Structure 1
Amino acid sequence: MRGQYGGPRVLLRRLREVMAEPVTAQERLDRIVVLIAANMVAEVCSVYVLRVDGDLELYATEGLNREAVHRTTMHKGEGLVGLVADEAEPVNLSDAQSHPAFAYKPETGEEIYHSFLGVPILRAGNTLGVLVVQNKSHRTYSEEEIEALQTTAMVIAEMIAGGELSGAGDGLEPVGRRPAHAFGGALSEGIGLGHVWLHEPRVVVKTFIAENTESELKRLDTALANLRASIDVLIDEGDVARAGEHRDVLEAFRMFANDRGWVRRLHEAVQTGITAEAAVERVQSDTRARMQRQTDPYLRERLHDLDDLANRLLRELVAPGKGMMTDVTDLPDNAILVARSMGPAALLDYDRTKLRGLVLEEGSASSHVAIVARALGIAAVGQIENATGLVEPGDAIIVDGLSGEVHVRPTADVERAYVDKVRFRARRQEQYRAVRDAPSTTRDGEKVQLLLNAGLLVDLPHIAETGAAGVGLFRTELQFMIAASMPKTAAQQKLYRAVLDAADGKPVTFRTLDVGGDKILPYMRNEPEENPALGWRAIRLGLDRPALLRTQIRALLNAGGGRDLRIMFPMVACVSEFDDARDIVNRELARLVKHGHPVPASVALGVMIEVPSLLFQLDEILAKVDFVSVGSNDLLQFLFAVDRGNARVSGRFDTLSPAFLRSLARIAERAKAAGKPVTLCGEMGSKPLEALTLIGLGYRSLSMSPASIGPVKAALLEADASELADFIKPLVARADGAATLRGEIEAFAAERGLQVSP
């Protein structure tokens, strides 16, 4: 049976006319429910909107008591309306009152209605409300009617998400614009206040109702064909033709793009009378709503693949042949980047002066993009589930890189609190700047060298800005990671010379290429490994591919002509590996001399102690090297057999555990006995409490991120090195089975008024 408007297809055309009328959002919603009720011959049509407190509020109705609008509410999960919202699935009943979930609301007058059809109002897989039709007669609504109601729900979802609707004035606004608060992992310290900028912007569907269904089907099929062809080209040609992570991702795309069930659902959606773009959005929103309720981590991970594929298909529909990424030149001031994931090169493409923060669905503190974020000095947080679905472009957002929190559309109170926090940090930074040029010496006269960890040209100004004594760790691999192809010798030499120039005579320690494992170069063949962190990486790769290491050594020696040069080899596990690497340096030096090229005034060679086997070869290695550095990140990882990139276990063991501190104490003692300088280069040295602990263990050289120089220096200026040693060394030597000594060391610092919070 059809109403006066002629059925679902006509409903969609009438809906388009209503959306174009110059009326308020509430008036438009009131007209929509009247239109639906007339078209579907329903005595009742109602819209319930999910509020910020989790309740569903009646926002518009045709057929129920109009005085119940903005007065009737129910909890999510309460009644049939609550069931639809909770399950994010349509509910179609011929006798609603016999259903166990039925809830009677006397103020609405709905007790006389039997049949019930409710569909969720979804956007990006998030439930924003429920759209309902009811009849007195016992009837089952047709599939065509369900489809029409779902399409209408998409239009209402845009109204809610756009902030057009307002509640009853009690402050309980629709959930589409509610504040959101999420916890993740801190990647880069700092606080960023700004507005959302999506790294991979969603296509905003503006036209929902199709003029011609056949032409929309043709557009969809053409876009699908182009999408499949583009994926085939990416897989079969270019850099990802070889096996590896990039190819695996694209193979998943190809599988989904050819999935018959997915394509059938897209066709069926278009045949209901909506545009191809609206069909893609609706199918993906329904899929996301279902998969977000899955507990299987594999299925939830596949949701990311489907999201990416749907976005690519939308791009093909609205801008054929265009890429997925946003135009980085359009970045507004005070932008907070939000992305599922991104590489370091992509982050460097953005204007640093306009960027205030970064939010990722993935990412760990040791990831490459986190390293670049710290180099840029922007707040960054990772592991925020569904980050791209929580936000809309332009939303106000706060990124707390200290606690790992993200506030989307924050309340005024939260925003004021963070403004005060930023001002406090600014005052603290002023205090740190005041001691920038002061000698880095403890109260009892012990000099502690504070150096920078670096790896990019953007790091170089920090040497002068922080008053650092030099660069204790220059990660040469970052140049390789952000390049589209293997950097030539000349390009490497240019970078190394620029670093030495910026240091202006201060020492710089270059770590040779540390790639492999989790640091994959897109232009190098990647052989899958069961335990990549323990596999073919760093010095192992360099010695097995001597041309690669030799080219880098040649660039370093040429850049260091006439100056002091320090070269360090990573992940050395036995003395013979250092011997082999040193032989390469000596051969390259001899080559320069033979051809009359300038050579460095001196070349100091060292190793990074990060593999536990070197703890039992300290005397042998110290007899051969000029210096050693401790890579606390990897040493902790290997000592406790814990993957630092795995969020489930990365925080399981503390750097202030007795076992780890004893290992560090042993290194410091043996290096001092051998008369060889030792520097700690990991993240441990960037934290004031840990830095004071290291000073107590005998370390007099620490390398850290630029932002950490001030807090660490302020702490050590107030500390007494001998007093630290008298407390720390016996504490570490004590064997009582404690998992960590953090509490006791914090209490010691508090008693002496030492500032150990950054």
Structure 2
Amino acid sequence: MAGAAPAQERLDTVVRIIAQSMVAEVCSIYLRRASGELELFATQGLKPEAVHTTRLRPGEGLVGEVARSAAPISLSDAPSHPSFAYRPETGEDPYHAFLGAPLLRGGRAIGVLVVQNRSERRYDDEEVEDIQTIAMVLAETVASGELLAQDELRDIEVAPHRPERLKGQRFAEGLAYGHVILHEAPVAPENLLAENQQVEEIRLREALIGLKANIDSILDGGQGKLAGLPFEVLETYRMFADDRGWNRSLEEAVRTGLTAEAAVDRVRNEHRARFAQARDPYIKERLHDFEDLANRLLRVLAGDRPGERELPDDAILVARNLGPADLLEYPRHKLRGLLLEEGSAASHAAIVARALQIPCVGRIMGVRDRLSEGDLVIVDGETGETYLRPRPDMLAAVQSRMLVRSARQAEFAKLRDVPAVTLDGTRITVLTNAGLAVDLENLDATGAEGIGLFRTEFQFMVSEELPRLNSQTALYTLVLDTAGDRPVTFRTLDIGGDKVLPYLETEREENPALGRRAIRLGLDRPGLLRLQLRALLTAAAGRELRVMFPMIATVDEFRAARELVDVECAWAKRRGRALPALLRVGAMIECPSLLWHLDALLPLTDFVSVGTNDLFQYMFAADRTNPLVSDRYDPLSPPALRALAEIQKKCADTGTPVSVCGELAGRPLEAFALLTLGFTRLSAPAGGVGPVKRMILSADLTAARRGMANLLGSSAGSIRGELESLARKLNVTI
């Protein structure tokens, strides 16, 4: 392919060489056009007149399936496969054996290399590896622009240049605009085939040592040091660099004759293609750590020093996903926002972004391939949207919103020490939600009166192994020390469903959201729950401890959980250990079954808290993490509000303290609705404390409750509009 002949002539020569060397009767190369179709560009064995004539639609035939899955396919009898598509102009009907490999660029298939044989044979692993290596070389040649024009390549690989609006998910609140920096744009290997295998093995080994040393320097402090950031996040990342499977795959790729760079690129593309189809959210998240490590390793091989990259003063970082170490290495004073194609709100990148207060929008599929370095973009962490190459009027609108947002933040800061009291004298307690040590900074910053929900599972989710007793105790002690005399409610481990721990073996469930999660898992594995309770009791020695159990569905479950608290208290007493000065045990109401058994539950509890996120998804049978159904109901609907009103009434009748700690408590209009139902204790995300407090100070609840009583009997699916009208009528700031 490095010869002087025209590119098409060289491609024709290549397919003949491949067919001969692999003893294949057919070798064909298909390339993706701007339309998405795969065009036959060269062949040995099929009809010559089919070249540049045969085109396959996206996903059509086995060739289309190879491109769609971005993974090789090997079959002994291709015509019997359901994806097989016969094109008569090619004359391929006599051929049974089929082996196809994608030409990958940036994780996307830009073409397909195929070999075929008449006999029904199975290609062995070495042949599959050979085809993948050749496909890698061909991908670089195609990317050079000799076979496809550069403008068509841009349509395939890079972004269009028109304004676009893309919808994603909000990972970290905020609003920003600036110029795109592509996170560690893939380093294309200049040389793919090694001249000296031993030299390449040494280069790879030394680069791996350098990579691990760099991560160690971040763990020890350096640029990435962030006060309060849980050490486990970066420790986990370091453990992936030591992963034996990943290191072995790199070494084996070098031994096949590739350079160190080509080996890393190949393993990275294989990981992308293999795990892109993964359904397990934890597996997908961990794939991104390997992806990030591979990119960093390529830069080490290229001689680049991480963290020394020049950035514009208004940088918007764009990545498929991001490792925690890398985000910390970018200069914070220049980083305005973050856009991610993948990830989740619980991913490492999202956790760090929230800690650094960097607006972040994730789950924007294809955003990296739609942008070029230097493009202007808007990151809207309030709506979960991004605007690519925005028009001047859109940019002006965002700048106005940012000015308003700054003014609002200044207004909220003035309210920090103002008691949350309504116009008619009702005292409202506004707390905040937390889950990591970094969240504790929000206590003083927002003026929240305590932590109404501390999600203890976050410590487990960012650790590669089960946190030991000392580690758990240290975190809980830090939380209580930071809170001082402000109350903290610890929710015990809430895992399962979409929260998967790699070190905890669980059976695969058809419907994990309704499966063995939260308190069910804790009761099935009492050792796990007792360890956590022991850590909480130890941390709270001599002061108040509030413990809350999640997803209680039956009264018996609460009794069993509370008995474990008694067991741990007795264990501590026998050993002469100090106990909390005051111990309060509560339950989360997030299963609809409890609505009809509150009379039995409430006398057993010291307090309860309503988890509206799960309560409503179960009430409406709509998975809140599934974008296809999550908007099928409105929390401000008569059924949802009547359920909340019933809970509040039963708690008032029995004198049971009750709070609301779901997302509703952090949005002014929804919080207004909660106040009209009688709730006086709200636990909101940090960003919602100021807006909710401002709403409280402007509300007259006596008049508002009369208006709400009339709305609860509505037959409408939602009364959001009516509540907004009521708030405006009463001059409530929402």
- Short-chain TM bin: 0.5 to 0.7
**TM-aligned CA distance change 1:397 to 1:671, over 3 Å:** same
Map of 1:136 onto structure 2:
none
Match of 2:144 among 123, 146, 155: 155
Structure 1 residues 4-35: Cα deviation after superposition (integer angstroms, max 9, x where no partner): xxxx64338xxxxxxxxxxxxxxxxxxxxxx9
Task: Tell whether the 8 Å contact from 1:198 to 1:393 is kept in structure 2 after alignment.
Answer: yes
Task: Tell whether the 8 Å contact from 1:379 to 1:401 is kept in structure 2 after alignment.
Answer: yes
Deviation of 1:510 after TM superposition, in Å, equals 0.8
Map of 1:567 onto structure 2:
547
Map of 1:205 onto structure 2:
188
Q: Secondary structure at the match of 1:623?
A: helix
Instruction: Give, in whole Å, the separation in 1 of the partners of 2:139 and 2:502.
Output: 43
Q: Which amino acid aligns with 2:3?
A: V
**Which one is further off, 433-442 or 149-158?**
149-158
Instruction: Give, in whole Å, the separation in 2 of the partners of 1:149 and 1:601.
Output: 71
Task: Tell whether the 8 Å contact from 1:374 to 1:705 is kept in structure 2 after alignment.
Answer: no
Deviation of 1:572 after TM superposition, in Å, equals 1.0
Instruction: Give, in whole Å, the separation in 2 of the partners of 1:634 and 1:743.
Output: 24
Task: Tell whether the 8 Å contact from 1:223 to 1:317 is kept in structure 2 after alignment.
Answer: no
Deviation of 1:395 after TM superposition, in Å, equals 5.2
The answer on 1:595 being equivalent to 2:570 is: no
Deviation of 1:512 after TM superposition, in Å, equals 1.0
Structure 1 residues 40-74: Cα deviation after superposition (integer angstroms, max 9, x where no partner): 9xxxxxxxxxxxxxxxxxxxxxxxxxxxxxxxxxx
**Which one is further off, 307-316 or 594-603?**
307-316
Deviation of 1:514 after TM superposition, in Å, equals 1.1
Instruction: Give, in whole Å, the separation in 1 of the partners of 2:660 and 2:264.
Output: 53
Task: Tell whether the 8 Å contact from 2:105 to 2:139 is kept in structure 1 after alignment.
Answer: no
Map of 2:37 onto structure 1:
87
Map of 1:586 onto structure 2:
566
Instruction: Give, in whole Å, the separation in 1 of the partners of 2:603 and 2:472.
Output: 31
Match of 1:749 among 724, 727, 734: 727
**TM-aligned CA distance change 1:674 to 1:353, over 3 Å:** farther
Map of 2:473 onto structure 1:
493
Map of 2:4 onto structure 1:
11
Q: Which amino acid aligns with 1:625?
A: T
Deviation of 1:755 after TM superposition, in Å, equals 2.9
Task: Tell whether the 8 Å contact from 1:628 to 1:677 is kept in structure 2 after alignment.
Answer: yes
Q: Which amino acid aligns with 2:732?
A: L
**TM-aligned CA distance change 1:513 to 1:649, over 3 Å:** same
Match of 1:449 among 426, 429, 440: 429
Map of 2:176 onto structure 1:
192
Q: Which amino acid aligns with 1:551?
A: L
Task: Tell whether the 8 Å contact from 1:376 to 1:458 is kept in structure 2 after alignment.
Answer: no
Match of 2:687 among 698, 707, 713: 707
**Which one is further off, 178-187 or 486-495?**
178-187
Instruction: Give, in whole Å, the separation in 1 of the partners of 2:32 and 2:538.
Output: 71
Q: Secondary structure at the match of 2:547?
A: strand
Match of 2:167 among 161, 170, 183: 183
Q: Secondary structure at the match of 1:398?
A: strand
The answer on 1:630 being equivalent to 2:610 is: yes
**TM-aligned CA distance change 1:566 to 1:329, over 3 Å:** farther
Kindly report which structure 2 residues correspond to 1:299-310, keeping only aligned pairs within 5 A, or say none: none
What RMSD over aligned residues (CA atoms) do the two structures have, in Å?
A: 5.4
Match of 1:658 among 638, 659, 665: 638
Structure 1 residues 506-531: Cα deviation after superposition (integer angstroms, max 9, x where no partner): 11111111112221122222321111
Task: Tell whether the 8 Å contact from 1:195 to 1:394 is kept in structure 2 after alignment.
Answer: yes
Q: Which amino acid aligns with 1:87?
A: E
Instruction: Give, in whole Å, the separation in 2 of the partners of 1:578 and 1:346.
Output: 43
Map of 2:513 onto structure 1:
533
Instruction: Give, in whole Å, the separation in 2 of the partners of 1:185 and 1:217.
Output: 45
Instruction: Give, in whole Å, the separation in 2 of the partners of 1:702 and 1:669.
Output: 16
Instruction: Give, in whole Å, the separation in 1 of the partners of 2:344 and 2:295.
Output: 30
Q: Secondary structure at the match of 2:712?
A: helix
Structure 1 residues 650-703: Cα deviation after superposition (integer angstroms, max 9, x where no partner): 121111121111111110110011111110001111111100001011111110
The answer on 1:686 being equivalent to 2:666 is: yes
**Which one is further off, 741-750 or 341-350?**
341-350
Instruction: Give, in whole Å, the separation in 2 of the partners of 1:693 and 1:529.
Output: 37
**Which one is further off, 367-376 or 600-609?**
367-376
Structure 1 residues 275-310: Cα deviation after superposition (integer angstroms, max 9, x where no partner): 99789989999xx99xx9xxx999xxx999999999
Q: Which amino acid aligns with 2:722?
A: E
Kindly report which structure 2 residues correspond to 1:353-364, keeping only aligned pairs within 5 A, or say none: 356-363=336-343
Structure 1 residues 527-562: Cα deviation after superposition (integer angstroms, max 9, x where no partner): 211111111121112122222212211221121122
Q: Secondary structure at the match of 2:635?
A: coil
**TM-aligned CA distance change 1:369 to 1:616, over 3 Å:** farther
Q: Secondary structure at the match of 2:509?
A: coil
Instruction: Give, in whole Å, the separation in 1 of the partners of 2:290 and 2:418.
Output: 55
Map of 1:438 onto structure 2:
418
Instruction: Give, in whole Å, the separation in 2 of the partners of 1:490 and 1:613.
Output: 37
Q: Which amino acid aligns with 1:436?
A: R
Deviation of 1:614 after TM superposition, in Å, equals 1.0
Instruction: Give, in whole Å, the separation in 2 of the partners of 1:350 and 1:315.
Output: 14
Q: Which amino acid aligns with 1:431?
A: E
Task: Tell whether the 8 Å contact from 1:682 to 1:703 is kept in structure 2 after alignment.
Answer: yes
Task: Tell whether the 8 Å contact from 1:345 to 1:482 is kept in structure 2 after alignment.
Answer: no
TM-score w.r.t. the length of structure 2 is 0.68
Task: Tell whether the 8 Å contact from 1:195 to 1:396 is kept in structure 2 after alignment.
Answer: yes
Map of 1:405 onto structure 2:
385
Deviation of 1:711 after TM superposition, in Å, equals 0.8
Structure 1 residues 615-668: Cα deviation after superposition (integer angstroms, max 9, x where no partner): 111111111111100001111111112111111111211111211111111101
**TM-aligned CA distance change 1:373 to 1:38, over 3 Å:** closer
Deviation of 1:339 after TM superposition, in Å, equals 4.0
Instruction: Give, in whole Å, the separation in 1 of the partners of 2:462 and 2:404.
Output: 35
Instruction: Give, in whole Å, the separation in 2 of the partners of 1:152 and 1:321.
Output: 20
Q: Which amino acid aligns with 1:390?
A: R
Q: Secondary structure at the match of 1:536?
A: coil
Q: Which amino acid aligns with 2:37?
A: E
Give the aligned length. 602
**TM-aligned CA distance change 1:628 to 1:158, over 3 Å:** farther
Task: Tell whether the 8 Å contact from 2:187 to 2:298 is kept in structure 1 after alignment.
Answer: no
Kindly report which structure 2 residues correspond to 1:79-478, keeping only aligned pairs within 5 A, or say none: 87=37, 89=39, 124=106, 154-156=143-145, 180-194=164-178, 196=180, 201-205=184-188, 207=190, 215=195, 336-341=316-321, 356-363=336-343, 373-374=353-354, 376-392=356-372, 396-410=376-390, 414-478=394-458
Instruction: Give, in whole Å, the separation in 2 of the partners of 1:387 and 1:216.
Output: 39
**TM-aligned CA distance change 1:331 to 1:702, over 3 Å:** farther
Instruction: Give, in whole Å, the separation in 2 of the partners of 1:149 and 1:547.
Output: 55
Map of 2:117 onto structure 1:
none
Q: Secondary structure at the match of 2:489?
A: strand
Structure 1 residues 329-357: Cα deviation after superposition (integer angstroms, max 9, x where no partner): 97967654544456889978988766543
Instruction: Give, in whole Å, the separation in 2 of the partners of 1:747 and 1:379.
Output: 31
**TM-aligned CA distance change 1:600 to 1:176, over 3 Å:** same
Task: Tell whether the 8 Å contact from 1:154 to 1:282 is kept in structure 2 after alignment.
Answer: no
Give me the identity figure in percent: 43
Instruction: Give, in whole Å, the separation in 2 of the partners of 1:579 and 1:520.
Output: 26
Deviation of 1:392 after TM superposition, in Å, equals 4.8
Deviation of 1:429 after TM superposition, in Å, equals 0.7
Return the index of the structure with the highest Cα Rg: 1
Instruction: Give, in whole Å, the separation in 1 of the partners of 2:366 and 2:305.
Output: 19
